[in-house]
Chain A
Amino acid sequence: MEALELARWQFGITTVYHFVLVPLTIGLSILVAIMQTAWVRTGKEKWLRLTKFYGKLLLINFALGVATGIVQEFQFGMNWSNYSRFVGDIFGAPLAMEALLAFFLESTFLGLWIFGWDKLPKKLHLLTLWLFAIGSTLSAYFIIAANSWMQHPVGADYNPETGRAEMNSILEVLTNNTTLAAFPHVIATAFLVSGTFVAGIAVYWMVKRHREDANHGDLPMYRTAARFGAVTMLLAGVAVIITGDVQGKLLAEQQPIKMAAAEGLMATETGASFSLFALGNLAGDDPDSVTHFIEIPGLTSFLFTGDWDGEVRGINDLQSEYAERYGATDAAGEEIEYRPNLLVTYWSFRLMIGLAAFSAALALTILWFTRKGGITTKPWMKALALISLPMPYLAASFGWIFTEMGRQPFVVAPNPDGVDMVMLLTQAGYSPSVSAGEVAFSLVVFTVVYAILGVFWFKLIQRYAVEGAPQVEEPTIDEDGSRPLSFAY
């Protein structure tokens, strides 16, 4: 493989890995902050126990998220130096803002929260957690603004002298309508992930405790957590659908090939149907070999245009349109294939939707079985809860794989209403000074190190989850520093 291919694999692996961890941090930081707020306001011990329980799991997750996030700040320069040169004037700004506005807030106040139980008054200590949660959410905004610019470049011009894109409006970059659609979708997903996480673990414990003792003192606490998680999932699920729909229609205008690829649609159609699965050579080499199954008539048209009979342009038409507008051949004289890998886009789009539906099923089940003060005792509920845990994670990952792979062959996709020259092919974005051997080495090292750390992450989350909510003491301030620390590494 060449350096370019290896660099793409490395970026994909490190970024998807990082983004498996991020949604839980974003969502759970807010959910734990709500739990601690409930404790501060009501004084009920169960809320403190839940805060400590889920707070610990949050920290285990956050540590690996931070660690794998460090790479992201440098990887553009390391492996994508030509991309960095081309976009730096614009893309660097939200990245630097993310560090200054969000990362400092996150990391400083998390330190204060973890170690501050015996140092800060109750309400101030609660505030540190909220500031951490706000920092996490803010960081998502800036990085999505950066990513959205790659999907739909706005506020930029092309300078033919330097061959670089240049920013002419930071306001347009930060209020890109792609960002405004993607950010709520990502945040809603984060709540879906974290709601499933909270509810899934609570249901596991509810069933387990009830089998040990039908009147166990922990049952009301886990019931509260299960319903809290389920309501979060339900609200988040609705938000995911609405924001996803808005985003789909927007993308159909901004990146029509990506959306055509989501259905594997070669020819332009009106009333295009949506198939649940397809067999054959989806890679796009041989469209005639593909058979679609369980087709829902008009659904693709409806998803992308809002009209069951709407016209969805097919890949073949778009290919000639793009070739005419953005050039038929690349710098090396090779013909440019403007469609992404259809196998990946078709399936990642379906898996994103299908796996997210799983969480919704869990949410409704939990709310039904815990209605009117009820406790669920069914062993299959425990199984369902555990099976559901990874589902929204996978859904979110497939969503990102769809977003990023669907943008190919571009790293900066052209904006149909923008400046035509503000676009870049992925193949032009790599680092010429980094050899294939060097990239291969870093790819292997990252993969191995991440795999090892991932095992520890999983084991610790699992270990602390099966330990259950800890017994707690009312925290008090250590006036003279003579006591053991409330928390220490």
Chain B
Amino acid sequence: MDLALIWFVLIAVLWTGYLVLEGFDFGVGMLMGLLAKDNKERRVALNTIGPVWDGNEVWLLTAGGATFAAFPEWYATLFSGFYLPLLLILLALIVRAVAIEYRGKINDPKWRQRWDWAIIGSAWIPSILWGVAFANLVRGVPIEEVDGRLEYVGNFFDLLSPFALLGGLVTLALFLSHGAIFLALKTSGDFSKRAGDFAKKISVVALALAAVWAIWTQLAYSVAWTWAAVLVAALGLAAVAWFTRTESFGKAFVANAVVIVGAVVLIFGSMYPDVMPSSIDPQFSLTVDNASSTDYTLTVMTWVAVIMTPIVLAYQAWSYWVFRRRISTDNIPEHNELTFFKK
């Protein structure tokens, strides 16, 4: 089998892992602002992802590193081309990592409040921008040959087409829904109830937005076989709406993960054989073949991925099992006594 194609699929798998896992992290971050009533509830929300959010984010770093190793031309053109949106995402991720860790380190309402804003804001920004970025990959962006290299020649505003912005709203709604279902599953009592109620509403919004975007993608940019992915995603979305209504949140969570899988298959399927289609002329498109590394590198990386990915999945799954219990406000310890200045 064609190694470059295998890596195209593997990178889709890495992105799926990232979007499924950090999708609910971002959802929880946004809902800290929308659903939690007081500090204790915000802490309940934050601690549902406490032990796992950092490991979830590594899926992104792995997707980035794997793209560099397997498709250097794609890595180079994509990240230099999408410079400003990627900068915003990176800044959000930087601030978010520090905010989560530092928020509870000083016992001062002002201190906490500011970091809370950071956590909430840094969840909204990437939730929208990832959708915008992927929609642009599907739609194609201005790429031309410059000095023998395929370079992005557009500007920031070229990335903000209606189709791309709708893509942003889709990931936003999907992550909100994902996070709300996760919170309904991982918390208890009143907070869990409120998260479940929110999931019922947002899952309908996600259904509407995602359906429009998926059909738009399918009709305008894709090939026949990805109708299967659209169908899977559509059934998943309907199942999410149904299962949140019947309050079977475990099933709803799985269904929402299936939606994300369907969306990634649709996105990657519609791009193939391109990895970054040119909107100027198809001859300038980066493809699975012209953007990939040599077979030697791809073979080495395939071995590494085949051996390591199951091991990573196993220990990450174990960590979810260790922290499987629901968290209630009764589980939240008092803050330590440390204030910013020593008394």
Interface residues of A (CB under 8 A from B): 59-60, 62-64, 66-68, 70-71, 73-74, 76-79, 81-82, 84-85, 87-93, 95-101, 103-105, 107-112, 114-116, 119-120, 163-164, 166-168, 170, 431-434, 438, 441-442, 445-446, 449, 453, 456-457, 459-460, 463-464, 466-467, 481-489
The B176-208 residues at the A interface (CB cut-off 8 A) are none
Binds A, one of B127-135, B220-228, B271-279, B309-317: B309-317
B308 proximal to A (CB < 8 A): yes
| CB nearest to B96 among chain A residues | A67
B83 proximal to A (CB < 8 A): yes
- CB of A485 within 8 A of CB of B47, answer yes
How far is it, in angstroms, between the C-alpha of A112 and the C-alpha of B305 when the chains are bound? Answer: 24
Q: What are 28 sample pairs from A and B whose C-beta atoms fall under 8 A apart? A: A66-B54, A71-B90, A74-B90, A77-B76, A81-B79, A85-B72, A89-B72, A89-B293, A93-B297, A93-B300, A96-B301, A99-B66, A104-B315, A110-B54, A112-B319, A119-B322, A433-B81, A438-B83, A449-B91, A463-B342, A467-B342, A484-B333, A485-B327, A486-B333, A487-B333, A489-B43, A489-B50, A489-B103
| Residue in A76, A114, A457 whose Cβ sees the most chain B Cβ within 10 Å | A76
B33 proximal to A (CB < 8 A): no
| CB nearest to A480 among chain B residues | B325
Chain A nearest Cβ from B136, distance in angstroms = 15
Given A84-B68, A489-B43: A107 and B342 within 8 A (CB)? no
Given A66-B97, A163-B148: A77 and B78 within 8 A (CB)? yes
Chain A nearest Cβ from B309, distance in angstroms = 7
Given A115-B50, A463-B342: A60 and B75 within 8 A (CB)? no
Q: Of B84, B300, B312, which contacts A438 at CB under 8 A? A: B84
Q: Of A92, A119, A484, A485, which contacts B65 at CB under 8 A? A: A92
- Which A residues are CB-close (under 8 A) to B338? 463-464, 467
- CB of A489 within 8 A of CB of B84, answer no
B80-110 to A contact mask, C-beta < 8 Å, 1/0:
1101101100110111011011111110000
B157 proximal to A (CB < 8 A): no
Q: Of B52, B57, B68, which contacts A92 at CB under 8 A? A: B68
- CB of A70 within 8 A of CB of B94, answer yes
How far is it, in angstroms, between the C-alpha of A70 and the C-alpha of B56 when the chains are bound? Answer: 13
- CB of A88 within 8 A of CB of B95, answer no
- CB of A96 within 8 A of CB of B68, answer yes
| Residue in B80, B106, B316 whose Cβ sees the most chain A Cβ within 10 Å | B80
- CB of B149 within 8 A of CB of A99, answer no
The B44-79 residues at the A interface (CB cut-off 8 A) are 46-47, 50-55, 57-58, 60-62, 64-73, 75-79
Q: Of B60, B98, B300, B340, which contacts A67 at CB under 8 A? A: B98
How many residue pairs between the two chains, A and B, have CB atoms under 8 Å in the bound complex? Answer: 260
Chain A nearest Cβ from B65, distance in angstroms = 4
- Which A residues are CB-close (under 8 A) to B301? 93, 96
Q: Of A77, A87, A108, A488, which contacts B43 at CB under 8 A? A: A488
Q: Of B90, B305, B327, which contacts A100 at CB under 8 A? A: B305
How far is it, in angstroms, between the C-alpha of A270 and the C-alpha of B64 when the chains are bound? Answer: 49
How far is it, in angstroms, between the C-alpha of A489 and the C-alpha of B44 when the chains are bound? Answer: 9
B1 proximal to A (CB < 8 A): no
- Which B residues are CB-close (under 8 A) to A64? 98
Chain B nearest Cβ from A79, distance in angstroms = 7
- Which A residues are CB-close (under 8 A) to B151? 81, 432-433
| Residue in A84, A109, A168, A460 whose Cβ sees the most chain B Cβ within 10 Å | A84
Q: Of B62, B77, B297, B325, which contacts A81 at CB under 8 A? A: B77
- Which A residues are CB-close (under 8 A) to B296? 166-168
Q: A82-B149, A433-B81, A482-B330 are in contact. List 5 more A-B contacts (CB 8 A).
A: A67-B97, A74-B79, A99-B58, A108-B52, A116-B51
Chain A nearest Cβ from B244, distance in angstroms = 25
Given A114-B51, A463-B106: A103 and B58 within 8 A (CB)? yes
- Which B residues are CB-close (under 8 A) to A483? 331
B280 proximal to A (CB < 8 A): no
| CB nearest to A63 among chain B residues | B101
- CB of A93 within 8 A of CB of B69, answer yes
- CB of A70 within 8 A of CB of B93, answer yes
- Which A residues are CB-close (under 8 A) to B104? 488-489
